[in-house]
Structure 1
Amino acid sequence: MAQERPACALEPEQIQRLLRCCQEAKKSAYCPYSHFPVGAALLTRDGRIFSGCNVENACYALGNCAERTAIQKAISEGYKDFQAIAIASDLKDDFISPCGACRQVMREFGTNWAVFMTKPDGTYITKTVQELLPASFGPQDLHNI
């Protein structure tokens, strides 16, 4: 598990790069059923960005969200220490928010890192994983059994 550290204040250039990357990732979404493309860009503590998109399947339960795709790509390359993730969709009236499963997967790697939820016009709000999943169950809870 990643070591718990305070959420980093990102430089404006880092935020803009992360937002551009999640918008770009959205273009690769495979969503023939929902027609709801989602892109994510995950920033590691050492500055590397991993992108992901949603990938649907005719057997709906086998699809994967953009956030989990980005996290799994990072994990598969040895990265487990994250400072931020940005999420993009075509939702116009609301900021895109991660689903419950994605929130739980994010939580596996700490509670105090940033989640940038965007709108297509480039506006965003930021929450921590803790704010999105309060009173959560995590790796340390397994040591209490």
Structure 2
Amino acid sequence: MTGRTDHVDRELIEAAARVARTRCRGDDHTMAAAGRARDGRIITAVNAYHFTGGPCAELVLIGTAAAQGAYELDTVVAVGDRDRGVVPPCGRCRQVLLDYYPALRVIVGAGDRVRTVAIAIADLLPESYVWADHQLPADRTEPNGTD
């Protein structure tokens, strides 16, 4: 069962929608993402479409957040250009978001069905692969068991 919260960060949705309206032009940038950092800041990004599989807006958001010193995100949302509204993360983004932020909340749904998936992004990616480097026991510092 997917975890839900009644609180939907409308300010975050509007931040992503504003970026989608003003910065997504043509085929190179068609999606915007916004994330709320633990300190309350809103960070935004756009995708970099390329036929070789350029990064989605959510993945660009991870790098943008790190570049701004925001290493912990609480909530993310992606919004499509041309007023497409909230767009759920693709499978690749779900896996990467899970690896970086296992307790992340993600805003999904459309129109009056917009909701925040809470508890863990794993709810959007059941039976997911867990990146071993992120699951090291506390007494180990290297994935191969050496210190």
With the length of structure 1 as denominator, give the TM-score of the two structures: 0.72
Alignment pair present for 1:32 and 2:6 = no
- Aligned mates of 2:143, 2:34 — CA distance in 1: 31
Alpha-carbon distance, 1:118 to partner? 4.6
- Whichever of the two has the greater Rg, that structure is 2
Stretches of structure 2 that go unaligned for 5 or more consecutive residues are 137-141
Alpha-carbon distance, 1:51 to partner? 0.5
Tell me the residue number matched to 1:75: 66
Stretches of structure 1 that go unaligned for 5 or more consecutive residues are 1-6
Alignment pair present for 1:20 and 2:14 = yes
Q: Which amino acid aligns with 2:24?
A: A
Alignment pair present for 1:129 and 2:130 = no
What is the percentage of aligned positions where both structures have the same residue?
24
Maintained 8 Å contact 2:15/2:34: yes
Q: CA RMSD in A?
A: 2.9
Tell me the residue number matched to 1:56: 49
Q: The residue matched to 1:46 in structure 2 has which SS?
A: coil
- Aligned mates of 2:6, 2:59 — CA distance in 1: 22
Maintained 8 Å contact 1:42/1:86: yes
Q: The residue matched to 2:94 in structure 1 has which SS?
A: helix
- Aligned mates of 2:130, 2:77 — CA distance in 1: 23
- Aligned mates of 2:94, 2:33 — CA distance in 1: 13
With the length of structure 2 as denominator, give the TM-score of the two structures: 0.71
